[in-house]
Amino acid sequence: MKTHWLRLMYREALERLDDVEALRGVRPDSNASYLLELIAFELLLKFTAYTAEPANIERKKSFRHDYKKIFDALPPTVQSRLLALAGERIGPSGLSDRDKVFADWTANFDGLRYPFEKYEDDTAGEYEERGSTWLSEGGRLEDATFRFHSEELFGMLYALRIEAKGRLRQLPQ
């Protein structure tokens, strides 16, 4: 097992979480802090997948940013433990339909890096109208262009930090 590489991955995830806190202090409404959270989530999820099942390391290129695929590569006991820990932290949530939440996070990882591309063909008026229409129709989450699932991400990051820290301690020096 590539323990040095895994340790670097773990360290990088924690550094991204530190970056999130620093950026939120300066720009609390920025999507950039959310993207950094997604990066940390991905790194911790991959770290957990690779340490729980070392054969996943050979499949790493196929995972890309497909959070459902990575989560599904975890042993069922690890999946259950992560969902239980997240649930203990945040209570009832959208994680009851985890595949939908993971799909939204995957789409956000791609879409929020360059969100203006989503509106490339809109005029300024059409862009404003899109937002106004969404709000006037109740601003429902399922109709949003980007669905953040912030509470669920908070819960999964909590669970992954606990799981990954335990796995880090078990890595050979």
What band does 19 get if pLDDT is binned at 50, 70 and 90?
Answer: very high
For residues 31 and 28, what is the distance between their CA atoms, to the nearest angstrom? 9
Q: What is the pTM of this model?
A: 0.92
Q: What is the CA radius of gyration of the chain?
A: 18
Over residues 97-144, the pLDDT tens digits come to 999 999 999 999 999 988 888 889 999 999 999 899 999 999 898 888
Residue carrying the six token digits 């670097």:
8
Task: Kindly tell me if the per-residue pLDDT of 2 is higher than 90.
Answer: no
Give whole-number Cα distances, 165 to 68, 130, 152, in Å: 22, 43, 20
For residues 152 and 90, what is the distance between their CA atoms, to the nearest angstrom? 7
Q: Which residues are CB-neighbours of 86 under 8 A, at least 6 positions away?
A: 93, 95, 152, 155, 156, 158, 159
Task: Kindly tell me if the per-residue pLDDT of 81 is higher than 90.
Answer: yes
